[in-house]
Chains A and B, each alone.
Chain A
C-alpha cells in the first residue's frame, strides 16, 4: 500500500496528510484530526451519522476514501459555529426546539439542515423531511428536528 500526500481544508484550516489508500475520510477526521463530532453509525451508508460537507455538498464520510477528496473543502460539525463559539442559527434552533435527545444523529442533521437552508432558505415541511431522509434518528421521531429546521425557514 503506497501512502499518498493529500491536502484539504478542514473547517477552513489548510491541512496536509500522508495517508494510506484505505483511509476513510471519517477515520481521518475522527482519529487524525480528533474531530469526533462526525459520528460512526453504521459504516455502510445507511444512517447518515457520518455526514460532512465536501465542497458544500453533503457526503457520507464512512464511504469516502480520504484520497478521493484531495484538494477539497471539508466542513464538519465542529466548523459550523463561528470561531468565537457563537452558534449558527440552526444550532440555536436545535437547542430552542429541543430537537436533540441522545444527540448521536445531531451533527449529521445540523449539516443537512445547513445544506438545505443554503440552497432553499424557505423549505416546506415536505422538503425538509425529504432532505433529511438519509439521516436516521432513533429518539426524536423527527418531529422536533423538522420543527427546528422549519423555525429557521425564512
Chain B
C-alpha cells in the first residue's frame, strides 16, 4: 500500500558540499544512488515506490549549481536554481519568453520555491512544462561527471517517458538558452484541469518573422506523446511562407495529426487532438505578436 503520510523507504542521505564530492558519492554508490534537488518529484517517486535508492545525494548545498548568469551566448541557469529564480531570470529578455510563460504557469508558490529547473528536466516527465519551451528555444543542457562535461541539445537529452540520456555518474549542471534575436518571438500555453495541476496538453512556439512572412518556426508540444514532441511537419509548412489564416489552420491540422496522445484520467485522445489545434493557433499568435515587437 502506498504511504503518503510517511516515507517508508530507507536510505542514507548525503549532502556533498562540492561537485567533486558529489561525483565521488555517485562513483561509490552507482545505481544505488539517486540525486535529489528540491524533492518535489523525487519524494513522491519514493512514496509511490517508483524508485528505491539506497542513497540520496542532495545537491542543494553545492552553491555553484544555483548560479544564474547571462552573457553574449545567452542565459545560463544552474541546474539547481529554484524554479522561482529561473522564472525571474527568464524575464530578463524577450528571447526567453516561452520558458518564462511555462515557469509562470507552474504557479504554485511552494513548488516554485522548492523545485529546480534541472529537476524538472531530469525527471523527464512527458508533461514537464519546461521542455517544450526549451525545445523551441534551442535549449541545451550540460552534464558533468568526474572526467569532464558534455553539452546536449534538449532534444537529445529527453529520450522517453521519465528517461533521459544521462549516465548514473552524471549530474546536470546547467541549462543554456541562446539569446533571442530580433524579430523572433516565442510563447507557451497549457491546458490543465485546474489552476495548479499537471498539464494535459502544452504547446510552445518560437517564430522568426520578417514582416508578414514566417522565416522559420519551431513548434513543440508536451503531454501528447511519450515524450515532448517537435512537430516538424507543421514547422516546414510555415517556414518561408507569408502568414494567413488558411495557412495557420493548415499548420494547426498538421499539429493535431502529428501528436500521439493517449486517453488518461486527465483527458481523452480525441479531446487532446482537437484542443491541440486550438492551443497551437493561440500560442502561434502570441509568438507572432511578440516577434512583431509586441509583448
Contact = CB atoms under 8 A, between A and B. Distances in A.
On whether A and B touch (CB less than 8 Å), the answer reads yes
Interface stretch (A52-60, A77-85, A97-105): A52-60
Given A58-B110, A62-B4, A21 B11 contact: yes
Contacts of B46: 22
A45 interface: yes
Interface string B1-44: 00111111111110100000000000000000000100110011
A82 B113 CA distance: 26
B113 A57 contact: yes
Nearest to A47: B196
Interface residues on B, range: 20 to 34
B11 A22 contact: yes
Given A23-B7, A59-B110, A133-B107, A45 B13 contact: no
Contacts of B60: 68
B4 A134 contact: no
Contact of B12 (A1, A42, A133): A1
B11 A63 contact: no
Interface in A1-55: 1-2, 4, 20-24, 27, 40, 42-46, 48, 51
A144 interface: no
Contacts of A67: 13, 15, 58
Interface residues of A, number: 34
Nearest to B10: A1
Given A21-B56, A60-B110, A134-B110, A43 B13 contact: no
B108 interface: yes
B165 interface: no
A108 B4 CA distance: 18
A9 B43 CA distance: 23
Given A21-B56, A63-B40, A58 B6 contact: no
Interface in A64-119: 64-65, 67-68, 70, 112, 115
Contacts of A57: 113
A43 B4 contact: yes
Nearest to B114: A59
A130 B4 contact: no
B108 A48 contact: yes
B125 to A, nearest CB: 14
A1 B11 CA distance: 5
Which residue among A42, A68, A133 has the maximum number of chain B CB atoms within 10 Å of its CB? A68
B195 interface: yes
Interface string B104-130: 000111110110000000000000000
Contacts of B3: 43
B10 A22 contact: yes
B13 A4 contact: yes
Nearest to A31: B6
B5 A40 contact: yes
A131 B109 contact: yes
B13 A133 contact: no
B15 to A, nearest CB: 7
Nearest to A22: B7
Contacts of B58: 65, 67-68
Interface string B191-217: 000011100000000000000000000
A44 B114 contact: no
B183 interface: no
A134 B58 CA distance: 25
B232 interface: no
Nearest to A51: B110
A2 B39 contact: no
Interface of A: 1-2, 4, 20-24, 27, 40, 42-46, 48, 51, 57-60, 62-65, 67-68, 70, 112, 115, 130-131, 133-134
6 contacts: A59-B110, A63-B40, A63-B114, A64-B39, A65-B7, A130-B107
Interface of B: 3-13, 15, 36, 39-40, 43-44, 46-47, 56, 58, 60, 107-111, 113-114, 195-197
Q: Which 3 A-B pairs have the closest CB atoms?
A: A43-B4, A134-B108, A21-B13
